[in-house]
Chain A
Amino acid sequence: MRGHGTVNTRFAFESLLDTVADALGLDPAEMRLRNQLKPPCLTVNQLRVTSYGYPECIRQVVEKSGWKEKRGKLPFGKGVGIGGSHYVSGAANPIIRSRMPHTTVNLKVDRDGAVTLYTGASEIGQGSDTIQAQLVAEELGVNLNRVKLVAADTEVTPIDLGSYSSRVTFMAGNACLDAARNLKKKILAVVAEQWGVEPEVLQAREERICVSNGTGQSMSFDDAVVAAIERYGGLVASGSYAPPKEARGGKFKGAGVGPSPAYSYSAQVAEVSVDPETGAVTVERITAAHDCGRALNPVNVEGQVIGSVWMGLGQALQEEMIWNQGRLMNPSLLEYKSPSTLESPQVDAIIVESIDPEGPLGAKEAGEGSLAATIPAVANAIYDAVGVRITSLPITPEKILRALREKQKQQTQSNGGGR
């Protein structure tokens, strides 16, 4: 399960937005664009929005999907639909009632220049190991292959609250930057002393420490590490992250759940074909834009977006736990129908970079945010294709067929029963 609490409500919300747009005779994309936030701002429920790529997400998917040429203009049985979503970059209030940081990491550099990052964050396939190593390497100005991770080993790694709420890039990422900055400060202090300059004029980049005053003086990272270890006896640093107080939400009942230091935004357009005789839905294409702040690893972001879309398609059209007298009737993966490759359409993933002021190098989450937009986009596309709105998931062929029959019956009745 991902995006807990947001996915089903987003399906309802975005379906209702579509219904409203239909009733008002507005283009649903245009209606969404007219009702945007103006960040930086506090929302009505006291969420602090610091960066906001949602309008750009909508504009991009509208353009890349051919929305204007297609919506309401495709033949019966074919349609497009739009859906949006947003998501937290981690919960601003810890699930563990404690004042400790949400993440702490330790860095150690050996005399041979190898950098080891000790992090409690768990890689669960989302790519967090890569992102953390990238952030450390970037800040230290060294190649990625210098950085080794020791992750999620509670015997040696400090505490991270966990891989949930799409929090690791933002929170562990900020802790990595903090640790790398602390470590760099130690190295630069030693080099500055040797050269008789202020540490502020020094930069670490491309495996060297250089002076930014134009003299061209520089030293390799390896030599700088050796000098630092000779000076300190060892080269270690820690970093941590806790969301700022202003991000932690309002005072009303329930205000503590939902606030985040930053929010991601997604918009998607689904294009579908519906077989009016069987109710079968084929998703032809999904155009998905995701505002992840700065994309630290664009391939990884695209992978996360495509994965979210795929998961959303399963929930939208196929996946269901069927209960009978308290017993799960389809407990196996043969009968619980996750999509196969043959149900996986073309997904055009678009990255929108809003650059968050507090994210690590401007980054926000890219994990769960896209998931919730897929389902309403598909549902709204089905409505555009055949004119029936299904309000429960999964949207099975049987439900569509029943709704089509019902609609036909109503039309026949309103025509006085004649053909």
Chain B
Amino acid sequence: MSLPAFTLLRPGSLEEALGSLATHGPEAMIVAGGTDVVPNLRAGLFAPRVLVDIKGIPALRGISFDPKRGLHIGALTTITEVAESPVVRQHYPVLSEAAATVASPVLRNMGTLGGNLCLETRCLWYNQSYFWRKSCGFCLKKDGEVCHVAPGGKFCWAVWSGDTAPALLTLDAEVEISGPRGGRRLPLGEFYKNDGMDRIRLERDEILGGVFVPARTAGYAGSYWKFRVRQSIDYPLAGVAVAMKLTDGLCQDVRLGLTAVNPAPVLVREVGELLRGQRYSPELVEAAGKAVIRTGKPLKTSVSTPEYRREILQVYARRALTKLWTGN
């Protein structure tokens, strides 16, 4: 479980970093906080010849809010900074709630928002030591031919296990990507491919520079519910993020995002269709809970069973909606 040999590059600017990525091509890998990359390197899941440490690029750090345009967060902003930011808390509470549940205080201090949005997908058969994977027989995602979650299939079901992505999805966030061909912006929903093997639309020579959240979702009430065995350290086993706009008890708009049950963080469109323009009723909330498990499809990717995670998705969806709608 020791680190493999690699060359560490520490560019001081975005241009320099992009240059390094262009030079080393597929042999290079980006590292920021390192809280995801380093354990995976130790487990032998990645073997980059070059690690490009982008932490020394000040331009990629910081939070700014403009009431007319929206919120901008640099990719290198730490999860702690996001969780504790007064503007985030005031205007986009679902994001601060989600950020505050990531891992543990120490990991939040190291981990970055960009890193959290680019997390490697997770699976019981993938996040194991090299020795373990070899003894078991390698899996589709790494070195093997078989998916141990759904044997016979050729699809990788490793789950998206980030906390901030579902929250940002409910806020219509966009990601800013820099590359040798210039910059581009992508709705966060399109950034994820829903493929456990190849999770994000980020080329090997590109860098996720920041996140933009539009002004139109500022002020949405928000709540994030995370299921895990321990209330600290753990990745989510199922998670529900809700952002809602209410006027005198009338639901003007609502988005519900899921995490840790599919290969991508996903919005449950049906919930918006069901609840928009409605007033609270237990029946509506119950129906929304049912809709959630038509989108969220947990499989045997963790030691917690899919059946229980489906239960939890419904309960958490009902609780999140009820809390925002009725205040309790």
Mark A residues whose CB is within 8 Å of B: 277-278, 318, 322, 327, 329-332, 334-335, 337, 339-343, 397-398, 401
Residue contact A335 to B303, C-beta cutoff 8 Å = yes
> Min CB distance, A185 to chain B, in Å?
55
**Set of chain B residues within 8 Å of A335, measured between Cβ atoms:** 127, 303
Stretch binding the partner chain, chosen from B2-10, B48-56, B206-214, B227-235: B227-235
The segment out of B16-24, B92-100, B305-313 that lies at the interface is B305-313
Contact indicator A340/B230 (Cβ below 8 Å): yes
Q: Which of B233, B304, B312 contacts A334 (CB 8 A)?
A: B233
Residues 132-161 of B, flagged 1 when their CB comes within 8 A of A and 0 if not, give 100110000000000000000000000000
CA distance A297 to B133 in the complex (A): 48
| A329 to B300 alpha-carbon distance, docked (Å) | 12
Query: Contact between A340 and B135 (Cβ–Cβ < 8 Å)?
Result: no
How far does the Cβ of B103 sit from chain A's closest Cβ, in whole Å? 10
**Interface residues as binary, B188-206 with A (CB distance below 8 Å gives 1, 0 otherwise):** 0000000000000000000
Count class of interface residues, chain B: 20 to 34
Residues of A within 8 A of B304 (CB): 398
Check if B230 sits within 8 Å of A398, measured CB to CB. Answer: no
Residue of A277, A330, A342, A397 touching B303 (CB-CB under 8 A): A330
Q: Which residue of the partner chain A has the closest CB to B129?
A: A331
Name the prevailing secondary structure of the A interface residues: loop
For B285-314 the 0/1 string (1 means CB < 8 A from A) is: 000000000000000000111011001100
Name which residue of chain A comes closest to B302, CB basis.
A335
> Known contacts A327-B132, A327-B135, A398-B308; is A337 also within 8 Å of B230 by CB?
yes
Q: A398, B305: Cβ atoms under 8 Å?
A: yes
Closest 9 pairs between A and B when the two form their complex, measured CB to CB: A342-B231, A340-B232, A398-B308, A337-B229, A340-B230, A342-B232, A277-B315, A322-B303, A278-B315
Question: Is residue B13 contacting chain A, with contact meaning CB distance below 8 A?
Answer: no
Given A278-B315, A335-B303, A401-B308, A329-B124 contact (CB < 8 Å): yes
Give B225-260 interface residues, CB cut-off 8 Å to A.
Answer: 229-234
- Are A278 and B124 in touch, CB under 8 angstroms? no
- B129 touching A340 by the CB < 8 A rule? no
Residues of B within 8 A of A278 (CB): 311-312, 315
List A contacts of B230 (CB < 8 A): 318, 337, 339-340, 342-343
A340 touches B231 (CB 8 A): yes
Residues of B within 8 A of A329 (CB): 124, 303
List, in ascending order, chain A residues with CB within 8 A of B312's CB.
Answer: 278
17 additional A-B residue pairs with CB within 8 Å, beyond A398-B305, A401-B311: A318-B229, A329-B124, A329-B303, A331-B128, A331-B129, A334-B233, A337-B229, A337-B230, A339-B230, A340-B231, A340-B233, A342-B231, A342-B232, A343-B230, A343-B231, A397-B308, A398-B307
In the complex, chain A residues whose CB is within 8 Å of the CB of B229: 318, 337
Q: Which of B104, B129, B312 has the most CB of A within 10 A?
A: B312
Closest A residue to B232 by beta carbon equals A340
Nearest CB in chain B to that of A330: its residue: B303
Residues of B within 8 A of A341 (CB): 232
CA distance A335 to B237 in the complex (A): 11
In chain A, what residue has the closest Cβ to B309?
A398
How distant is A334 from chain B, measured CB to nearest CB, in Å?
7
Chain A residues within an 8 Å CB radius of B124: 329
- 27 A-B pairs within 8 Å (CB atoms) are namely A277-B315, A278-B311, A278-B315, A318-B229, A318-B230, A327-B132, A327-B135, A327-B136, A329-B303, A330-B303, A331-B128, A332-B128, A337-B229, A337-B234, A340-B104, A340-B230, A340-B231, A340-B232, A340-B233, A342-B232, A343-B230, A343-B231, A397-B308, A398-B304, A398-B307, A398-B308, A401-B308
Taking a contact as CB atoms under 8 Å apart, the answer to whether B132 and A331 are in contact is: yes
- Closest Cβ neighbor of B228 among chain A residues: A337
User: Which residues from chain B contact A331 at a C-beta distance below 8 Å?
Assistant: 128-129, 132
Q: Cα distance A343–B315 when bound, in Å?
A: 21
Residues of the B chain whose Cβ atoms lie less than 8 Å from the Cβ of A277: 315
A96 vs chain B, min Cβ distance (A) = 35
Smallest CB gap from A278: residue in B: B315
Distance to closest chain A CB from B286 (angstroms): 12
Q: How far is the CB of B300 from chain A (nearest CB, A)?
A: 10
CB distance from B227 to the nearest CB of A (A): 8
- In the complex, the chain A residue whose C-beta lies closest to that of B43 is A332
Instruction: Give the CA-CA distance A334 to B233 in the complex, in Å.
Output: 8
Residues of B near A397 (CB, < 8 A) are 308
> How far, in angstroms, from A334 to B303 measured CA to CA in the complex?
12
- A398-B127 Cα distance, complex, nearest whole Å: 24
Nearest-CB residue, chain A, relative to B316: A278
Residues of A within 8 A of B104 (CB): 340
A401 contacts across to B, CB distance below 8 A: 308, 311
Residue of B136, B230, B232, B234 with most chain A CB atoms under a 10 A cut-off: B230
Q: Could you give, for residues 97-128 of chain B, a 1 whenever the CB lies within 8 Å of some chain A CB and a 0 otherwise? A: 00000001000000000000000000010011
